[in-house]
């Protein structure tokens, strides 16, 4: 073998993506299980699509940073530019646009795709994450925003997170557009520069932020700062003054907050600095944050995007939705010790004493599997004591040891490991016995 061939390959996964060992997979499945139960209780139907999309889909409208700096794009063997999806919204909009005539609106759809973004991997941000997307298409009233935000809140509650442990921050693109456009008449490039800057405000420190703002906003900095630093909705409204231009956005925020309050959701706050990075939002936008400073990244992000279907040359369809990532919610559940303790999906292990025991155990296992009991057989010649130790380490609740006595008598001793209780049973009664235990 050549020197080159002998070089060992790394066992690390590609930077920023994760391997899911069975213990991680169990957590992932738990998280997805809770999510699915809640979204389905709101009547959302599951859809899916390919990881690969034409790169053009994201060039039309997604947000400059994502397209220019964060997409994984390559040219396929046929010379087409292909992108690993960095978000699901353009895909679902494409699917809805394609079948617009046949679909029965309003649609309530959800999916949990994996997404790829070329980010600097850090706590709460990786290059691959799974993201619940829940969206309503075809509902123009604010009831859609209220439903979507209440769905997000229900998911947090279903995980056992208390209302005082998370905050729902809301703003409106209409207000942002009014301030940047009508009020200050900033040119287009300044607007996106400011939006990015304001998005990073918390991470920058007041003095650095002010200096950066001054470079972008010039003599309008002080007035802009007063607006950005307003403590609450009332103070902000006062600083803004009463004009028709921003009224729609302000009224929408008031209605959404009041409607959510009526539903018992009171951890909603107006946040005029909430920008959301995507170009397609047109109205109310929101994000959910953990109150614990260890988890600074948003858990959910979404809003209204009524014009996105236009990029396909189709009629507009009003749309509201959000994305919620698996990385950040897992951090939160770990922070508050809300993940359930690991349990085995394997119900029963058959320990074996010799080759004959293995043969008989294989037959018993087949019989039990046909009755929906998950069973493994030990094929090793290890001592029974060691076999049992391995069963305990895997948290498998039941064990049966099989040797010549069992083969002769046809009777099996089922041991429940937690209590140490043993029950002698005909093999045909084992499945029923296990099922009858709680």
Is residue 283 a contact residue for ligand HAM (CB under 6 A)?
no
Q: According to the annotation, is 190 in a ligand binding site?
A: no
CA 389 vs. chain centroid, Å, equals 37
Output the DSSP codes for 259-311: HHHHTT---EEE-TT---S-TT--SEEEEEEESSTT--S-SEEEEE-TTGGGG
Whole-angstrom Cα distance, residue 344 to residue 26?
9
DSSP letter, residue 165: G
User: Considering only residues 71, 89, 259, 387, which one is a binding residue for ligand HAM as defined by CB under 6 A?
Assistant: 89
Stretch that binds ligand HAM, among 72-80, 94-102, 325-333, 382-390 (CB under 6 A): 325-333
Q: According to the annotation, is 87 in a ligand binding site?
A: yes
User: Considering only residues 61, 85, 108, 117, which one is a binding residue for ligand HAM as defined by CB under 6 A?
Assistant: 117
In b/e form, how buried is each residue of 168-201, taking b as 16+ CB within 10 angstroms? bbbbbbbbbbbbbeebbebeeebbbbbbebbeeb
Give the number of C-alpha atoms closer than 13 A to the C-alpha of residue 334, restricted to the C-beta side. Answer: 13
Site for ligand HAM in 122-161 (CB under 6 A): 125-126, 129, 131, 133, 135
Q: According to the annotation, is 272 in a ligand binding site?
A: no
Stretch that binds ligand HAM, among 117-125, 307-315, 358-366, 428-436 (CB under 6 A): 117-125
- Mapping DSSP onto H, E and C, the string for 25-75 reads HHHHHHHHHHHHHHHHHCCCEECCCCCEEECHHHHHCCCHHHHHHHCEEEE
- Give phi and psi for 23, each to the nearest 5: -65, -35
Q: According to the annotation, is 89 in a ligand binding site?
A: yes
Q: According to the annotation, is 117 in a ligand binding site?
A: yes
User: Considering only residues 327, 376, 417, 425, which one is a binding residue for ligand HAM as defined by CB under 6 A?
Assistant: 327
Q: According to the annotation, is 275 in a ligand binding site?
A: no
CA 202 vs. chain centroid, Å, equals 23
Whole-angstrom Cα distance, residue 402 to residue 412?
7
User: Considering only residues 186, 322, 360, 398, which one is a binding residue for ligand HAM as defined by CB under 6 A?
Assistant: 322
CB 165 within 8 A of CB 338: no
Is residue 173 a contact residue for ligand HAM (CB under 6 A)?
no
Residue least distant from ligand HAM (Cβ)? 325
Q: According to the annotation, is 147 in a ligand binding site?
A: no
Give me the least distance between CB of 87 and ligand HAM, in Å please.
4
**Which residue, 319 or 431, has its beta carbon nearer to ligand HAM?**
319
Is residue 71 a contact residue for ligand HAM (CB under 6 A)?
no
Binding mask 295-314 for ligand HAM (x = CB under 6 A): ---xxxxx------------
Q: According to the annotation, is 46 in a ligand binding site?
A: no
Q: Binding site, residues?
A: 87-89, 117, 131, 135, 276, 280-281
Q: Which residues are annotated as a binding site for L-histidine?
A: 87-89, 117, 131, 135, 276, 280-281
Which parts of this chain interact with ligand HAM (CB under 6 A)?
A: 87, 89, 117, 119, 125-126, 129, 131, 133, 135, 298-302, 321-325, 327-328
């Amino acid at each position: 073998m050549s020197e080159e061939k002998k070089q060992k390959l790394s066992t690390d996964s590609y930077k920023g993506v994760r391997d899911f060992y069975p213990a991680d997979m169990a957590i992932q499945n738990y998280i997805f299980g809770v999510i699915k139960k809640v979204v389905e209780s709101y009547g959302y139907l599951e859809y899916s699509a390919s990881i690969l999309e034409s790169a053009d889909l994201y060039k039309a409208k997604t947000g400059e940073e994502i397209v220019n700096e964060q997409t994984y794009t390559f040219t396929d063997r046929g010379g087409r530019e292909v992108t690993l999806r960095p978000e699901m919204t353009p895909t679902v909009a494409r699917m809805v646009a394609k079948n617009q005539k046949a679909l029965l609106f309003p649609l309530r759809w959800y999916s949990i795709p994996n997404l790829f973004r070329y980010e600097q991997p850090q706590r709460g941000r990786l290059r691959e994450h799974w993201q619940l997307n829940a969206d309503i298409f075809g509902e123009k009233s604010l009831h859609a925003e209220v439903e979507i935000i209440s769905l997000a809140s229900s998911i947090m509650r279903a995980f056992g997170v208390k209302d005082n442990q998370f905050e729902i921050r809301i703003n409106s693109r209409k207000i942002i557009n009014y301030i940047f456009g009508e009020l200050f008449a900033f040119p287009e490039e300044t607007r996106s520069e400011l939006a990015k800057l304001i998005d990073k405000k918390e991470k920058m420190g007041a003095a650095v932020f002010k200096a950066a703002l001054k470079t972008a906003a010039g003599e309008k900095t002080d007035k802009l700062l007063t607006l950005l630093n307003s403590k609450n909705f009332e103070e902000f409204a006062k600083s803004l003054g009463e004009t028709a231009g921003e009224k729609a956005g302000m009224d929408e925020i008031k209605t959404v907050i009041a409607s959510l309050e009526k539903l018992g959701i009171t951890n909603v706050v107006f946040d005029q600095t909430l920008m959301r990075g995507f170009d397609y939002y047109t109205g109310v936008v929101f994000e959910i944050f953990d109150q614990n400073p260890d988890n600074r990244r948003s858990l959910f992000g979404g809003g209204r995007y009524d014009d996105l279907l236009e990029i396909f040359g189709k009629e507009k369809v009003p749309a509201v939705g959000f994305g919620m990532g698996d990385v950040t919610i897992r951090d939160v559940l770990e922070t508050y010790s809300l993940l359930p303790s690991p349990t085995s999906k394997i119900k029963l292990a058959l320990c074996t004493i010799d080759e004959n025991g293995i043969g008989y155990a294989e037959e018993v296992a087949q019989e039990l599997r046909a009755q929906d009991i998950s069973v493994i057989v030990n094929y090793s010649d290890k001592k029974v004591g060691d076999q049992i130790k391995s069963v305990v380490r895997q948290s498998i609740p039941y064990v049966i040891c099989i040797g010549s006595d069992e083969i002769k008598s046809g009777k099996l001793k089922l041991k429940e490991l937690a209590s140490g209780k043993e029950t002698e049973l005909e093999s045909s009664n084992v499945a029923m016995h296990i099922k009858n235990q709680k």
